[in-house]
Structure formats: structure tokens, C-alpha cells
Amino acid sequence: MQYTSLLQDKRLTILLSGEIDHHSARQTMEAVTSKIDVYLPRCCVLDFGGVSFMDSSGIAIVIHTLRAMEELGGELWLANVPPQPMKVLRAAGIEKIVRFGAERSPA
């Protein structure tokens, strides 16, 4: 798992790539949380465009990130989620609690 992040107008975009599983989840979760703690964004975008596989560990990462953003009074958006990770997120009903399509999110 590798990640690049961009900060623009209090909007933090984290580009996730590779395979998300239990083996890589803790490291990813810590990296995402520490970026949120440093930049205190109003909006965080997790961009799944480069994710080639994701199991239920990804659900935990999304929920953990959502809680971190809620503590800041901010928003979480998920962007560019490929079909396989999307099916896993849907199994947990994530689409009911998180917004998708960050390209249209408020800057």
C-alpha cells in the first residue's frame, strides 16, 4: 500500500493504491489519521482510483477516517472507487453513511 496526499483549500485528498487487506490496514489507518491530525482539513477525500484489491479491512479504514473527520466537524468523501472495492463497501452499507464522488464536493 502506497499513498500520496494533496492539500488544497483545507481539502485533503489521499490517493490510495495497491492492495488493501489486514496486512496493510493498520499502517494505512495510521498514515491517514496522522495526515488528518497534521492538516486538520475541512474535507477529506479518500481516492481509491489506484486500489487493485480491497477486503473488509478497507471498511474499517473508511469508518475510522469518518470518525476522525466527524471529530473535526468535517466531511469525508470517497472518490474513484473501482467495482471490487465498491462491492465490499456496499456489503457494509457504507454508501448510506459516506458521500461518493469528491470531484463535485465543496472546495
Interacting residues toward other proteins by CB under 8 A: 19, 21-23, 25-26, 29, 53, 55-57, 59-61, 63-64, 83-84, 87-88, 91-92
> Would you say 11 or 89 has its CB closer to other proteins?
89
Nearest to 98 by CA among 12, 86, 31, 30: 86
Where helices occur in the chain by DSSP H, the ranges are: 22-39, 57-71, 83-91
Is residue 51 within a helix (H) or strand (E), and if so which, with residue range? strand 43-54
- In the complex, minimum distance from the CB of residue 21 to other proteins, in angstroms, rounded to a whole number: 5
- In the complex, minimum distance from the CB of residue 15 to other proteins, in angstroms, rounded to a whole number: 20
